[in-house]
Amino acid sequence: MLLNDRMNPLDLTVNQLKRAVAIKEQIENLNRELRSILGASAKSGATPKNKRAMSASAKKTMVAKPAKLSVNPAAKAKKKTMSPAARAKLSAKLKAYWAAKKAGKK
């Protein structure tokens, strides 16, 4: 009995659902075995993806140019640092802020 438009899956019994799951697993196993016999990847459920052919000139161009996304350690941005005067000024402001906040709570 096939599932069609007239049949509601909610009307199936537990045993029928278990049997349907078992049959589906058997089908998947057989498909996997068939793909392995035919030489396709047994892991993927879909057909193998088409690979684009690359011309020799395109390959030479790619080899000649460095990759745009390669990370160059020398090109990394320098870490920004605060001058001692700026650090002291910020520290004084924060100390005053927390002293005022602490005084306001009491």
Task: Report pLDDT for 90.
Answer: 95
| Residue 20 CB burial class (10 angstroms; 0-12, 13-18, ≥19) | middle
- Answer with the residue of higher pLDDT: 101 or 44: 101
Spell out the domain ranges in the chain: 12-42
**What's the pLDDT tens digit per position in 58-98?**
888 877 776 655 556 666 667 788 899 999 999 999 999 99
> What is the structure's pLDDT at 40?
62
What confidence tens digit (pLDDT) does each residue in 37-49 have?
888 654 555 555 6
Distance separating alpha carbons of residues 16 and 8, to the nearest angstrom: 12
pLDDT value of position 6: 67
What are the b/e assignments for 23-51, b being 16+ CB within 10 Å?
eeeeeeeeebeebeeeeeeeeeeeeeeee
Report pLDDT for 63. 79
